[in-house]
């Protein structure tokens, strides 16, 4: 449920919020301090709830947004190769089905669904093994939702781990193998896909 602390947990894992108490375990290793730089090195990506303010740089073109997280790996020197940047951006623009006339299109001019794909493309380009999706289909149309679900399913088939945060119960039940409910920042229940129903999830949240 909104206000339960779920987004705060996601931001703590990604290093945006400090760990006030407890630890984060990634690949079995304990971390008591995280940062976004450390999370990125550990191949963790966050697709935030507010894509316009936190997920993408709206005033920049698609190409800059896609390669943003991998600049140090792509370019060892201070000189950025435009040819390489364009090639990489085009690859992921096509792979994720971003609809735009070119990679030079400003992200702010795209539809909500295509903006979300740009945010996801950034982390796919960075070869993240763990992706956190916070309300991934909020504010996008039905057709774009289906495409986002398809992208997420494809990533799982490739062996990527996805942590999805959502207040859309049919979305959770349809997409997740395991569902955890959160209240006041604490886990209150756990359901497998076969066990989960909207009634059980709602009851665990109150």
* Cβ atoms 199, 20 nearer than 8 A: no
HSE value, Cβ hemisphere, 13 Å, CA-based, for 131 = 24
CA distance 155 to 162: 8
Joined together, the tokens standing for residue 120 give: 């996801």
Q: Which whole-number Å values give the CA distances from 49 to 72, 85, 151, in the listed order?
A: 26, 27, 17
Mean pLDDT of the chain: 91
* 80-130 pLDDT tens trace: 678 888 999 999 999 999 999 999 999 999 999 999 999 999 999 999 999
Q: Which comes out higher in pLDDT, residue 206 or 188? A: 188
The 3 state secondary structure assigned to 149-180 is HHHHHHHHHCCCEEEEECCCHHHHHHHCCEEE
3-state secondary structure of 191: strand
- 6-26+35-167: CATH, from 1.10.260.40, 3.40.50.300, 3.90.850.10, 3.50.50.60: 3.40.50.300
Banded model confidence at residue 47, pLDDT cuts 50, 70, 90: very high
Output the pTM of the full model.
0.91
Q: Which comes out higher in pLDDT, residue 188 or 71? A: 188
Predicted pLDDT at 77:
58
**Neighbouring C-beta atoms of residue 58, cutoff 10 Å:** 16
* 136-147 pLDDT tens trace: 999 999 999 999
In sequence order, which residues have a C-beta less than 8 Å from that of residue 180 and are 6 or more positions away? 187, 189, 190, 191
Predicted pLDDT at 75:
62
Tell whether the model's pLDDT for residue 78 goes beyond 70: no
Predicted pLDDT at 1:
57
């Amino acid at each position: 449920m909104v206000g339960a602390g779920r987004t705060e947990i996601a931001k703590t894992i990604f290093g945006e919020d400090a760990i006030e108490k407890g630890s984060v375990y990634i690949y079995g290793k304990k971390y008591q301090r995280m940062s976004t730089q450390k999370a990125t090195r550990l191949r963790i990506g966050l697709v935030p709830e507010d894509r316009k303010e936190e997920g993408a740089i709206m005033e920049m073109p698609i190409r800059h947004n896609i390669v943003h997280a991998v600049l140090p790996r792509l370019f060892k020197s201070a000189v950025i190769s435009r040819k390489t940047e364009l090639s990489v951006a085009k690859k992921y623009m096509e792979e994720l089905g971003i609809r735009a006339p070119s990679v030079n299109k400003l992200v702010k001019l795209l539809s909500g669904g295509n903006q979300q794909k740009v945010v996801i493309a950034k982390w796919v380009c960075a070869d993240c093994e763990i992706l956190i999706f916070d309300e991934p289909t909020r504010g996008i149309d039905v057709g774009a939702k289906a495409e986002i679900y398809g992208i997420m399913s494809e990533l799982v088939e490739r062996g990527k781990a996805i942590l999805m945060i959502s207040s859309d119960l049919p979305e959770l039940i349809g997409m997740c193998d395991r569902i955890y409910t959160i209240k006041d920042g604490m886990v209150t229940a756990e359901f497998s896909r076969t066990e989960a129903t909207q009634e059980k999830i709602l009851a665990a949240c109150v």
